[in-house]
Structure 1
Amino acid sequence: MPPSHVLVPLDGSPLADEALAHAIDTFDCPVTVLNVVTPLDSSMSEGGIVGNDESRREAAHERANELIETARRRAAESGRNLDTAVEMGEPAETILEYVDDHDVDHIIMGGHGGSQSELVSRLLGTVATTVVSEAPVTVTVVR
């Protein structure tokens, strides 16, 4: 049975962009892109290492909005509209909560890989691994 609502978490990585392209090209249903802004005092944020201030918070929200707008433009090129959301929280937990709260029945997300540092690679892999193991819906990981 094809999904009725697909969620694509976006983090600005090339694999997340590929996940969005896959969702748009494959499914004829509403697609929502979600960017999770990680709190600056989180262990999964640069703020856990380098201080917490308002300018960093603003920059994180601006980046999230830029990712969302880029996704909208890409979808429009394919004649599609996207629903969009920006949430604050721990990435995997926030993705799973969004699924529960918004009747999502399929998640398409990028896995980790590429030339990222070992730390970043492990963190991105951790998010995908957690979502795959805990999501109550089908998860497609694009690699």
Structure 2
Amino acid sequence: MAPSHVLVPLDGSPLADDALTQALELFDCRVTVLNVVTPLDAGMSEGGILESGEERRQDARDRAARVISQARSRATEIDREIETVVETGDPAETILEYVDAHDVDHVVMGGHGGERGSIARRLLGTVATSVVGEAPVTVTVVR
């Protein structure tokens, strides 16, 4: 069955951009782009290495705005409309919460390989592996 609401988590990476392109080309339905800003004090952020402060928070907000703006531009180029959302939190948890709360029935996301951990993490990436393993909907990982 064709999806009615596709979620595309974007982090500004080339694979995430490819995921958006694929979602827009394959699915003629509602598409929401989600950018997750990781809090500065979270383990995945630079907060553990560099001092936190308003400048770093502003940099994160600016980066999110650029990611969303680029997504809108890409959609406009192919005459599509998208919804955009910026949330703050752990990326995998935030994606899964968004799926549950907004009637998403398909996720299309980029995968990132890592050097540590299981074979799945090396093939898909930590966030993608978590979403694939826990999402109650179909997840397409673009590599």
Give the TM-score range, shorter chain: over 0.9
**Matching residue of 2:129:** 129
TM value normalised by structure 2 = 0.92
1:20 equivalent in structure 2: 20
C-alpha RMSD of matched pairs (Å): 1.6
Match of 2:108 in 1: 108
> Which residue is 1:66 aligned to?
66
- For residues 25-69 of structure 1, what are the alpha-carbon distances to aligned partners after superposition, in whole Å with 9 as ceiling and x for unaligned? 000001000000000000011112212111000110110011001
Instruction: State the distance in 1 between where 2:49 and 2:105 align.
Output: 36
Identity %: 70
1:97 matched to 2:97: yes
Task: Say whether residues 1:57 and 2:57 are aligned partners.
Answer: yes
Q: Which amino acid aligns with 1:129?
A: T
Matched length: 138
Q: What CA deviation, in whole Å up to 9, does each residue of 1:93-113 have, x standing for no partner?
A: 000000011110000000014
Give me the whole-angstrom Cα distance separating, in 2, the residues matched to 1:12 and 1:118. 20
Name segments (4+ residues, structure 1) moved above 3 Å. Answer: none
